[in-house]
Amino acid sequence: MKMSFFVLFVLNFCALSASSQKIVFQEQNFELKNVTASVVKFNGEDVIKVERDLKALPFDVNRLEATVDEPTYVKLMDLDFENGTIEVKMLSQIQNPSPFQRAQGFIGVAFRISENDTEFESIYLRPRVGRSDNQLARNRTVQYYSYPDFKFETLRKEAPGKYETTAPVDLNEWITMRIEVNGEKAYMYINDSKYSTFVVDKLKGKTTHGAIALWVDIGTIGYFKDLKIDKR
């Protein structure tokens, strides 16, 4: 009886642990990867709240290239995306206290994620500097990177300014991000703009299709809603 009870306890605990790594939101199933996440009420409506899990994936301010721009997201399950449109509304805040003094509210989307999370493309925002009085800071509001070989520091050295740009966004406000992916190109639109804010003229990753995820990084509290995907 004791052995049976122990086995039952272990099985129940494993099931609980596994289920805690997944959430359901608006009939969409998400898997957590190096983040904590839950469905919460925010200003009276249901949204997904996401924060990077520093226990699952530690951060080192002295090793930025190695410990940021990582797979830190909630990944939409049972979807394989190659080309089409991804649209989501998102809002970011900075944790208080923040584990990173220069946190910018890093929030965005990852796409064409490989099955084992070892490769993907991503476009994200740094809303804190979107309306900065410093033009250089503004020019770094939008960021593209390709995991694992082309993170922001590598791209900034390789081609300064090519994979970053401006966008008139800020913390604590809902931002609509729409990404149109077509072959090797990706276009990003902000807040229902008629024209793209940003273009990646040649995606640098090796993956041509895969999952989609809602992404955050160090020091960010991210809120997401109204995820829409149109595959083509």
Predicted confidence at residue 20, as pLDDT, reads 53
The pLDDT confidence band at residue 192, using thresholds 50, 70 and 90, is confident
3-state secondary structure of 117: coil
Instruction: State yes or no: pLDDT of 3 exceeds 80.
Output: no
Once rounded to an integer, what is the mean pLDDT over residues 167-191? 98
Instruction: State yes or no: pLDDT of 194 exceeds 80.
Output: yes
**For the chain, what's the residue count?**
232
Predicted confidence at residue 93, as pLDDT, reads 98
Once rounded to an integer, what is the mean pLDDT over residues 171-193? 97
Helix residue spans in the chain (DSSP H): 2-19, 64-67, 135-138, 152-158
Once rounded to an integer, what is the mean pLDDT over residues 53-58? 97
Burial class from Cβ neighbours inside 10 Å (0-12, 13-18, 19+) for residue 86 reads buried
- Cα(130)–Cα(217) distance, integer angstroms: 17
Residue-wise pLDDT for 145-154, tens only, equals: 999 999 999 9
The dotted CATH code for 24-231 is 2.60.120.560
Mean pLDDT of the residues in the chain? 92
Structure tokens at 178: 């729409």
Once rounded to an integer, what is the mean pLDDT over residues 169-184? 98
Residue-wise pLDDT for 78-94, tens only, equals: 999 999 999 999 999 99
Instruction: State yes or no: pLDDT of 123 exceeds 70.
Output: yes
3-state secondary structure 69-108: CCCCEEEECCCCECCEEEEEEEEEEECCCCCCCCCCCCEE
